[in-house]
Structure 1
Amino acid sequence: MNNKKNTVSRRNFISSSAALAIGTTLVGPNIFGRNRLLNSPVPNSKIKGVQIGVITYSFRSMPDQSAEATLQYVLDSGINAVELMGDPAETFAGKPESPVNWRTFYGLMGKKRNNELNPEEEKSFLEMQNTMDAYNKEVATWRSTVSMDKFKELRKMYNDAGVTIYAFKPNAFGKDNTDEEINYGFKAAKALGASHVTLEHPSDDEHTEKLGEMASKHGIYVAYHGHTQQTPTFWDTALEQSKYNALNLDLGHFVAAGNEAPLEIIKKKHNHIKSMHVKDRQTPEHGQSNVVWGEGDTPLIEALQLMRDKGYSFPATIELEYDIPEGSNAITEVKKCLAFAKNALES
């Protein structure tokens, strides 16, 4: 997948992208409340017809995880469309406060997924999981009665700042969630202005059929995400079950899974893709690592140019997963990713 010509091309893109991002890349956000937001320039990350967005998970390392601070991170990154994680929106709407440190929990969850937990971390993860189980019951009760007014208010705040919300990812669509929570998730997504919700594929045909049926009643699509279990036929059963079942393709994970010809799945499934996560990962032969854009085996340039040339309308969602270099921060790195995409699309 990486011949000499492509390697040289990627090096050129890295240099050009760095040049585009230089100047403000090391400046963090200045959060001064609503007045700061109103004074922020309106971003535009739709480039040559391709909407470049970002999943707000990319800012998980930032100190303030409120909806207002998250919006500021998005604005400072130059992005005008997002896949919004559940926590900022639900906290804004009054969700009970979590007794668990989310950053720690997500970190352990990632290591658990990769079978990298040591015995002490495994014990901590299990303790957190037990605490989370009790907390989730409390949240389920809250979700069953909460008004949509605060979600509409959040949508207006984001829209007024120039940012649209195209996808919503609350932890409300799993097999352990109640039907009331699932319906809540669809209603909240609609209130936020999203066209679809995203979630990890449950690997359960009965559940994807149920979600597809429930989604049809709300007119909101369910876009299933995958990691290295993705294959070209990974979504086929769900797609056959309901027209409201769709893809949240992750191109980097798809490459890391060892799939050949990653551009082909975009071509074949583009009518079912509601949004696509973009990151650079290596093939299994090269270690599967998340790396700085342009240094891995994921054909990001070619994928973005394919979207441009074919007029595909789904967003390309920046997901920052490589290690943030010392002295940098998430905003800086997202800006670099955006500059890389801009370079690709304007070439």
Structure 2
Amino acid sequence: MGASTQLHHADPVKRSQHLDEARRFIDLAGQLNCPFVRVFPDQLPPDQSREQTLRLISDGLLELGNYAKNHDVTVLLESHGELTRSDLLTQLMTAADHPNVGLIWDVFNMWADSHEPPAEVYRKLKKYIRHTHIKDARIEGSKHHYVAIGQGDAPLREAITALKKGGYSGFYSFEWEKLWHPEIDEPERAIPQYPTAMKAYL
């Protein structure tokens, strides 16, 4: 389940609102026997120190993990926004080490922002990865244009090979962001292509 919870907020009112949203999703996930709830790290605000922001996110993950353990649910932080570097995510996940806390590896997001080799990213974050987001895009200057799997620049083969060799047994979840990028192909065309394209990697 995809909550839109953001854990970087220092403002007490905003922080409480976002944590409450995550708890509602955890409650619902427990009722539906859904194992995971996604939350975001999102931003590194310029008006607070990086260490403070990382601490806010890791503390939020621990708080939600403790809540989720009573619902047989795991809270997953997505590599997203301004937190897509493996060193920052490793620091976060180490501080929030909890059996009911894990990570969603969005392969393209991390690679497009940091250009870290996926095999190296996986080596650092393997312990925490419970779910993956798979998408592809062509890099065009400072922007990227989402395309069908295998038609873009994302190093998906390297990432999926690392996951397979590392014993990853979770889902490879196709992400097609038509709502936020209305110019891309229709989902009725993009989604049916995904299984066939993934067979080439698997």
TM-score w.r.t. the length of structure 2 is 0.72
CA contact (8 A) 1:253 1:281 kept: no
- In the aligned structure 1, how far is the partner of 2:154 from the partner of 2:193? 17
User: Larger Cα Rg: Structure 1 or Structure 2?
Assistant: 1
Match of 1:191 among 7, 31, 37: 31
What residue in structure 2 maps to residue 113 of structure 1?
Answer: none
**Pair 1:335-2:192 in alignment:** yes
Within a 5 Å distance, the mapping from 1:227-306 to structure 2 comes to 227-229=80-82, 230-235=84-89, 236-243=91-98, 244-282=100-138, 287-306=143-162
By how many angstroms is 1:237 displaced? 2.3
Within a 5 Å distance, the mapping from 1:120-135 to structure 2 comes to none
- Mean CA deviation greater in 312-321 or 299-308: 299-308
- In the aligned structure 2, how far is the partner of 1:288 from the partner of 1:179? 32
- Name the SS for the 2:131 alignment partner: strand
- In the aligned structure 2, how far is the partner of 1:233 from the partner of 1:198? 20
What residue in structure 1 maps to residue 3 of structure 2?
Answer: 170
Q: Which runs of 5+ in 1 are unaligned?
A: 1-167
- In the aligned structure 2, how far is the partner of 1:304 from the partner of 1:178? 32
**RCO (CA 8 Å, sep 6+): is it higher in 1 or 2?**
1
Residues 81-115 of structure 1 deviation map (CA, whole Å, 9 limit, x = unaligned): xxxxxxxxxxxxxxxxxxxxxxxxxxxxxxxxxxx
- Name the SS for the 2:164 alignment partner: helix
Q: Which runs of 5+ in 2 are unaligned?
A: 8-14, 43-52
CA contact (8 A) 2:5 2:40 kept: no
Residues 196-247 of structure 1 deviation map (CA, whole Å, 9 limit, x = unaligned): 1102125533423322332233332111113352100232224422312211
Match of 2:41 among 201, 219, 222: 201
**Pair 1:311-2:152 in alignment:** no
By how many angstroms is 1:340 displaced? 0.6
- Name the SS for the 1:314 alignment partner: coil
- Name the SS for the 1:293 alignment partner: coil
Describe the shift of the 1:284–1:278 C-alpha distance in structure 2 as closer, same or farther (beyond 3 A): same
Q: Percent identity?
A: 21
What residue in structure 1 maps to residue 65 of structure 2?
Answer: 212
RMSD (CA atoms): 2.8
Q: Which has the higher helix share?
A: 1
Q: Which has the higher strand share?
A: 2
CA contact (8 A) 1:280 1:294 kept: yes
- In the aligned structure 2, how far is the partner of 1:279 from the partner of 1:193? 27
Q: How many residues align?
A: 175
CA contact (8 A) 2:22 2:39 kept: no
TM-score w.r.t. the length of structure 1 is 0.44
Letter paired with 1:320:
W
CA contact (8 A) 1:276 1:315 kept: yes
